Structure 1
């Protein structure tokens, strides 16, 4: 449950802070003497909603480095780091993207992630545990999966989807607050919600609608994982990609040390079993991903 709350909190924080700040400053031109101007409200929500997701995207590399303790390989210090940088360079070239930054983060679980707002200026990082326990072919497959995310433009796509979802979360939250305010005014002859009451209703409604929006965002994220697996299989080979996923499946019971803000861009978040966890999971179950890869290979 803590994972779900942290995930939701990350998605909602920027939008909540921005919308409440603007409300406190009186920036609410969508409210007129005649009632609510829905066109102005939609434009207002779109600007704030997209701004929130774009800010998160633009600072994604900085956030990733700070939250995971990733150390960027500026100059390889040993044979493993040199192999890692050379492998990423080869995969990036094969995928037709610019060379990403390459880093290692101190986690014992086998994991990796890719982030960044530009295809030609991304960040690909792997955990120390992954390097220690996986074979070179398996590590290469994991790196190919992450390069696939970058080549597919998944970071930008997810930011745009989240921006649209933020827009509708804010839009419908304010409609709900306006309806509640109108209902109270009718019952008590002009009292209404008042300034802080309106803010409270908007905040609660944004949290509720934000939870529903997170389910939609997670669904898109799960679809994106299948595409990244396919890209990884093309770059590193289906057998290597399947082998890497099977190794991750075997380790799925280990404690997860990946920060919740980065789970959408990681190679795995462990096994997901409960219904609520499945609805909010950013990744499909590993056995389903393995089956999908094998079926795709069989069709070919």
Structure 2
């Protein structure tokens, strides 16, 4: 957990430094002042949404490059034919265009979906999954990933991250001005003092960590919803069997950070560590599917 938090804080520090340099240039060259909350909000939205939307637009390219995933253009064997046919059938049932289907080299049982829109997406499975799962289990995993695409989870996640980024930037700087004004005795000044920069530095970290927890909470919610969608497309028993098979991973996930949240398998953790995880525990996901089926039977 500490390695993850350290990486997160280092990333936010780099972003904060870059943001500070850019805003200083804008203020110095163009005479733009961010003391007005409206102006601050506009620039915060540009920076807050900019990175997440760019990441979304290049998500397929980035995923292929970072994982080495090879798109199946023309199936070379029966297994690839089955993969493409299964995704095509599920995509039609979900009402989306056929995603690209790819295979990537990785020892663990895993798969992911990504792409800028519901109709421009990629579904990829690991070689470990193909070697360890039977067809019913693999079908459920594919259905889970197709459900992510059909639910528009990639777009929604990018928007959520953009809103949270904007909040962090605005809130840290508003509080920074308040603290700086208090420390200076509320004296009129043409600029900000040392207290402003220290406060912004600290709050960028604190608010950023809280924002990341909120984003990961939403990511865990997405997994429950994709499991339910997978159960609808492939069958509840197949989805439960696939999640049980994922238990063999024991929290192993070699996916790069930029696509790890969209894999079907995630890290494991308890206590504070859980707040920073993108996936719920497998036991909770399985219990949610079973409870959902019991509810349906009760209503019927």
Q: What TM-score, normalized by structure 1, do the two folds share?
A: 0.88
Which one is further off, 204-213 or 129-138? 204-213
1:298 aligns with 2:294: yes
Q: Which residue of 1 is the match for residue 256 of structure 2?
A: 259
Q: Secondary structure at the match of 2:185?
A: helix
1:29 aligns with 2:32: yes
Is the 8 Å Cα contact of residues 242 and 293 (structure 1) preserved in structure 2?
yes
Unaligned runs of 5+ in 2: none
1:227 aligns with 2:225: yes
Q: Secondary structure at the match of 1:276?
A: helix
Which one is further off, 237-246 or 198-207? 198-207
Q: Which residue of 2 is the match for residue 70 of structure 1?
A: 69
1:205 aligns with 2:203: yes
In the comparison of the two structures, how many residue pairs are matched? 291
CA distance in 1, matches of 2:8, 2:60: 18
Q: Relative to structure 1, is the Cα distance of residues 203 and 50 closer, same or farther in structure 2, using a 3 angstrom cutoff?
A: same
Q: Secondary structure at the match of 2:239?
A: helix
Is the 8 Å Cα contact of residues 181 and 193 (structure 1) preserved in structure 2?
yes
Q: What TM-score, normalized by structure 2, do the two folds share?
A: 0.88
Q: Which residue of 2 is the match for residue 91 of structure 1?
A: 90
Moved runs in structure 1, 4+ residues, more than 6 A? Answer: 187-191
Q: Deviations over 1:30-78 (max 9, x none)?
A: 43xxxx2122222221222122211111111122112212111122222
CA distance in 1, matches of 2:260, 2:281: 14
RMSD: 2.5
Unaligned runs of 5+ in 1: none
Which one is further off, 63-72 or 135-144? 63-72
Aligned runs of 1:58-137 on 2, under 5 Å?
Answer: 58-137=57-136
Q: Which residue of 2 is the match for residue 144 of structure 1?
A: 143
Q: Relative to structure 1, is the Cα distance of residues 185 and 48 closer, same or farther in structure 2, using a 3 angstrom cutoff?
A: same
Is the 8 Å Cα contact of residues 102 and 123 (structure 1) preserved in structure 2?
yes
CA distance in 2, matches of 1:9, 1:262: 20
